[in-house]
Structure 1
Amino acid sequence: MGPLGYDDAFLTYELAPPSPSPSPSPAGDEDGVVLDYVHFTVGMHPMRRLAWWVAWNIDGLTLYPSDSISRSGQRFKLDPRLRVDQQAGEAVYADNDLDRGHVARRSDLLWGATLEEALQANSDSFFFTNVTPQRAGFNQSGRGGVWGLLENAVLALDGLADRRLSVFAGPVLADADPSYRDLVQLPREFWKVVVYRVVDELRFKAFLLTQNLDGIEPLLPDVDDEFLDDFDTYLVGLDVLEDRTGLTFDGLRDVAGPAGLRSASPQLVTAVEDIDW
């Protein structure tokens, strides 16, 4: 089996995953359970039964093509380290059009010094802790659209040091998210940060994406979608991302500079070629 958990020093610089700010707990002292898997780490939200953030590393030099490692026979499964009521399992997805959407992409995790390591990462990606409920159209759109190509685009950059990436991502867990089956609130938006090193310069880009929940009952009326439309990907500043997610990205603040931290208008991204990497 390969190394467990997200590696802070994967890009040479020490880069910690995000942390709660402030804690969502009424007592103010619960940050949620943190769970390590092969090549990725999940930070569970203490109340929502979903991942608050997932951090993972990608080694492009030892990455297996996704179609070379089958997902056939893999079943989504509960993590035995958590109680059943601490994670959103099969009851959320039965008899509806909700997809079990990976947060850390399966294809991102299929790397390692040995095939066994990549196979274990493949299996670990199917824990429900790495899954959020998504409309089928949203999940399929994400696979084929800009959202699903972000990591691939960075791995193809000229000058990318060691063909390595670190990625943070998760659902935006807003108070106004609609409740479903008295089991879970359905996230309407998702976020992702891609961190990479070009020569000796550490860079990152932060993104937001929405989920259209029409047709999933019950819905909350009069929800303000602000600047985000259905299935659109937006490039945003770090302060916007922190405000949206309730997370703090202290590890990126030394890297960001004024351009990365400023409260700029979100930039609609319709093609990965539009991004100034």
Structure 2
Amino acid sequence: MRSGYTNDFLPGFFIEMPTPNLAVQGDILQPPGLPEGKVVVPYIHYSLLMSKSTKQALCSAANVDNSKQQTISGAKGRKWFIDDRVGKEHQIINDAYTGTPWDRGHLTRRTAVTWGDYSTALAASNDSCAFTNACMQHENFNEDEWRVPELAVANFNMAKENRLNIMTGPVFTLCDRFFTKGPGFDPVRIPSGFWKTITYVDANSGELITAAYLFFQDIDTLKTKKAKQRIQLRNFRITTTELQLWTGLQFDKQMFDSNPLKFYSGPEAVKVTRLKDLSDPTEALLAAGIAETAVMEEARTLIELDKLYELIDELSWY
């Protein structure tokens, strides 16, 4: 029953789960309850990759069918559990959440996977409450800013057959905070932010479209629970290239080509305000907004991080 995320869920397209790049490959957990070499942990309608160092998921990917949604109350479908396949020692459990301001923040949202017949939806609701699918989210962030992209998924109505691929995960940085309850309690790493992608086939054009979002769990977001009333989701959009650099994950090529915010591909996404060194051909083509497929491929994989940040400083986004 736990078939997990499937790559052929969107009509006419195959979209693979993200895979770790060399920088994070060594941090991917080999779950002791899975066969050797199988690192993707499947659940009902979603799958995830676990980090050894943080004991939290690096990515959770879900198939969502909004046309077959069932209403499952939290009382019936919210039973948090330790996944024995992953091992208790490899996941953050209730000790870190009980009596603290930190919520068990769903990566794949519970109500996103409650679709299909009622029994399947109920089982999926419970399956979403694995501790492996939770990350340390401050209660003010979890109940405020993070609700904005979650509600966008729930209310989405532009997809062919109402089908969506939703991927999400934490962002860990050199500036991460750690939470501890005191002596004898292993410190828990707090994600600096969270990302989410929505990929779908447009019901009118038949084209594949991807939107990527990044929210930081910083001091400003923790001050209030009223931000969701005024923030606009489009202001948190980023390129798939940026997302890849933030996460250390490699995304399906089609998620680059279908994300209209492509700093490397054309005038519809960027406006150049100032040019610096154009001696490098890739940087020159990027800055000019003129890039062929080969150059786009090169930019995704070869551009250095400091050059990317310099380039982003020169761009003004719509």
Normalised to the residue count of structure 2, the TM-score between the two structures is: 0.69
The offset of 1:198, in angstroms, is 0.9
- 1:231 & 1:84 partners in 2: Cα distance? 38
SS at match of 1:104: coil
Matched, 1:198 2:188: no
The offset of 1:267, in angstroms, is 5.7
Pick closer, same or farther for the CA change 1:38–1:261 going to 2, 3 Å.
Answer: farther
Match of 1:56 among 45, 59, 62: 62
SS at match of 2:145: helix
Match of 1:99 among 100, 103, 120: 103
Partner in structure 2 of residue 255 of structure 1: 257
Equivalent pair of 1:52/1:171 in contact (CA under 8 Å)? yes
SS at match of 1:168: strand
Matched, 1:212 2:213: no
| Aligned pairs (5 A) from 1:1-277 | 1=1, 4-11=3-10, 12-24=12-24, 28=26, 31-32=28-29, 33-64=39-70, 68-72=71-75, 74-112=78-116, 114-142=117-145, 144=147, 146-153=148-155, 155-157=156-158, 160-181=159-180, 182-199=186-203, 200-212=206-218, 234-253=236-255, 255-256=257-258, 259-260=261-262, 262=264
The offset of 1:52, in angstroms, is 0.1
- 1:238 & 1:191 partners in 2: Cα distance? 11
Which blocks of at least 5 consecutive residues in structure 1 are unaligned?
A: 217-229, 269-277
**What is the identity, as a one-letter code, of the residue corresponding to 1:54?**
S
The offset of 1:231, in angstroms, is 11
Q: Comparing both structures, which one devotes a greater share of its residues to strand? A: 1
Pick closer, same or farther for the CA change 1:231–1:54 going to 2, 3 Å.
Answer: farther
Max radius of gyration: which structure?
Answer: 2
- 1:5 & 1:78 partners in 2: Cα distance? 17
- 2:196 & 2:258 partners in 1: Cα distance? 15
Q: Which has the higher contact order (CA 8 A, sep 6+)?
A: 1
Pick closer, same or farther for the CA change 1:98–1:258 going to 2, 3 Å.
Answer: closer
**What is the identity, as a one-letter code, of the residue corresponding to 1:31?**
I
The offset of 1:254, in angstroms, is 6.2
Q: Comparing both structures, which one devotes a greater share of its residues to helix? A: 2
**What is the identity, as a one-letter code, of the residue corresponding to 2:212?**
A
SS at match of 2:166: strand
- 1:22 & 1:122 partners in 2: Cα distance? 34
Number of equivalent positions? 243
Pick closer, same or farther for the CA change 1:258–1:163 going to 2, 3 Å.
Answer: closer
- 2:160 & 2:260 partners in 1: Cα distance? 24
The offset of 1:143, in angstroms, is 5.6
Percent identical residues: 29
Which blocks of at least 5 consecutive residues in structure 2 are unaligned?
A: 30-38, 181-185, 223-230, 265-307
The offset of 1:248, in angstroms, is 1.0
- 2:138 & 2:260 partners in 1: Cα distance? 36
Equivalent pair of 1:235/1:267 in contact (CA under 8 Å)? no
- 1:104 & 1:247 partners in 2: Cα distance? 17
The offset of 1:183, in angstroms, is 3.3
**What is the identity, as a one-letter code, of the residue corresponding to 2:242?**
V
